[in-house]
Structure formats: C-alpha cells, structure tokens
Amino acid sequence: MADTTPSSPPAAATTAAQPTTPTASATPANPPIEPATTAEPETLEADDASTSDGASIEERISSYTASLASSAVDYPREFGRRYHAFRKGSYVLPNDELEMERLDVTHAMVVSALGDRLYLAPLEKEKVHRILDVGTGTGIWAVEISDLFPNAEVIGNDLSAIQPTWVPPNVKFEIDDAESEWINTKKYDYIFVRHMLVSIADWPKLVKNVYDNLNPGGWAEFQDMDCVYYSDDGSYTEEHETWKWNKVFTDTCEEMGRTARPGPQLEGWVRDAGFEGVKHQRFKCPMGPWPRDPHFKDIGMLNLIQLLDGLEGFTLKLFCGYLGQTREEVLVMLAKVRKELKELAFHGIFDHHVVYAQKPEDAGDESDEA
C-alpha cells in the first residue's frame, strides 16, 4: 500500500538548484563589433572517389548505420561483467544476462508494490497515441504497456540494445542517451521514466526534456528509488555489513554526480519544470520475506532475489573502477553482505517513489503534435 507521509530515513533535499541570476554589468548593451581574430576554417575539398566507387548513397548509408549499430553492441567486459558500449562509462551497471534477469525481477517487484499496476498516472486511453519509455532496459514495461494501449505507438530507448526482437507491432526500441539532446519531430502523450538512479548527471535537465517533449495535456511519470536502506523497528544498524556497504555505495554515487537517491527529489524537479497536478506517492520495499503481511512478504522475496543477483553489478565498477579496490576485496565484502541478507539479519526497507504530473493544456507547442 502507498504511504504518502514521509518517514525515516531522512530524505535528501527535494528542490532542484535554482538558475543563477545574471549580475549587472557596466558593459554597454550593444558594444562595438570588434574585427574577427579567429582564423578562417580551411576550405573543404571534395573526394572525387566518393562518387565513383560503384556504391549508391543508399548502400553506403546502410553500411554506415550497420557499423554504428555494431559499435553500439560491441560490449566491453570489465571486472568479470559485460557493460554497454554506447556512451561508454556513463552508466555503471552491467548489461549482461544476469543483469537483464535482475531487471525483470525488479520490474515484477515494483508492479506488485504498486498493486499490480504498470503506472499510476490517470491516463485516458483515447488521448494516448504515443508513449515513450526512457531507459527501457529489457523492454518489459514497454511490451506490457503496449497490450494496454494497443492503438498507441510505444517507443523504448536505452543505451544498450538488449531488448527482444519479437515484440508487438506497436512497439519499437531505439539506442539513445536520455541525457543527450532530444530531437523529435513528434511529441508524446505519455512519457515514463523508471529506475534511472546512478545513471543521470543532470536530473533537472532530464525532467525538463520530458516536459518539452510532451504534447500539451500530456502526462509524465517518474518512478525511482531512495537507495538508503532503513528499518522501522531499529533492527538495521551501523554495525551491519550491509549498512557499511550501502553507505559507501550511496556516498560514492554522490561523489560521481550520479545520485542513488533520486526518489525523494523527484517531486521538486517535476514542479520546477512547470508541470501541474503533481502527485507523489511512496511505497515501501522490504528487503526479504520478513513481513507478516503476505503482500509485503511477496514483495520482499522478489526484492531479496534482485538484491542478491545485483550486488556484484551494483558494486564492481564503482568500488574497483572508481575507488580503486581489488575485485577480491569487493567479493569478500559482498559475501558478508549476502550472508546478512540471506539470514534476514535485519528488517531492511528501501522506498520506491512515484511522481506523476501533467503538462498544462495551454502550454505552447512549437512542433508537430502526435
């Protein structure tokens, strides 16, 4: 069940940074134009061979795009795991089969936590023609939402091409970086952003991109975690190996500028972007099947599975690549964490936050609508 009243742990600041106010200047508003001092770029010469190599421009474009696609799936391996190739280094979690399985388990956990719902925004099906799933991962959410909106075009983007090839006809996947400039000829009626923690350097920019790429009256929904663990009964303390690991993990993510705690801050970012009708709900995700309530017991079991499967992926690149620890040191530490989790040594919880909001109906729209 949703809990809309904030409680432990203390949330991170929920307001986005304000833009810097320009300071007054004594410089005239229209200073005199100075002669250009930059050297003129060299004249470009045509390659005569480029028009006589026997290949049509269509063939050459096809070959070039195939090469780009190949480079995007030429996945590097580090610390015994496989990572994405496109925008290499901007995402610290792996993209191999083990991680894909974990992502699908996490999806099942979150859907269950939300009462078997894929989304919470009050969508009207007849008004939803284009849906974007940002950071689609395995594509499981996009495929499932396409069944609920069979007349809508569903697009999922991600840094890695790990999505299935056999999908419903209204689903399409693209390799893209959500932090790059968004270039779309058509806007969306619903944009869904889930579990982008540890991957986004500029959250206010991402949220503004979502706003700008919605049709007026369109909805956005952000679902993300606060990865600081806690307990309601005091059973989880600083003495636990899991607490020590979690502290280093979250602190390191902050140092890198890619927070592991976006959940509590989502509402502030969404309000600052100009959305209206902002709703924020918080869902507890127990870390193991320790709750008495059968609903939370099931959520806890799914959460335990994804945590155990994900520990190495969460940790290796951060602790080895960024902090300089050896793989052996990390594995010894994770063995202690894994032991605590399996023994249900504490009643751990982390929070899953959902924020949804609408772009004003009277918002300007300078591009083509769907």
Find the CATH number of the domain harbouring 242.
Answer: 3.40.50.150
Q: What's the number of domains the chain is made of?
A: 1
Angle at 133 between CA 165 and CA 147, to 5 degrees: 65
pLDDT of residue 364: 73
Domain span at residue 212? 72-358
Q: Is residue 66 part of a domain?
A: no
pLDDT of residue 37: 36
Q: Is residue 45 part of a domain?
A: no
Q: Is residue 47 part of a domain?
A: no
pLDDT of residue 83: 52
pLDDT of residue 32: 39
Q: Is residue 235 part of a domain?
A: yes
Local structure of 133: helix, strand or coil? strand
- DSSP string for 30-99: SPPPPPP-SPPPPPPPP-GGGGSSS--HHHHHHHHHHHHHHHHT---EETTEE---TTTTS--S--SHHH
pLDDT of residue 15: 38
pLDDT of residue 4: 42
Please report, for residues 39, 47, 48, 52, 350, the alpha-carbon distance to residue 43 in angstroms, rounded to integers and kept in the order given: 12, 13, 15, 22, 59
Mean pLDDT by 10 residues, the chain (370 residues): 43 38 36 38 46 53 46 50 50 70 94 98 97 92 96 88 78 84 86 95 96 97 98 97 98 95 98 98 96 95 95 92 94 98 97 98 62
Q: Is residue 366 part of a domain?
A: no
Q: Is residue 269 part of a domain?
A: yes
Q: Is residue 63 part of a domain?
A: no
Q: Is residue 91 part of a domain?
A: yes
pLDDT of residue 78: 57
Local structure of 281: helix, strand or coil? strand
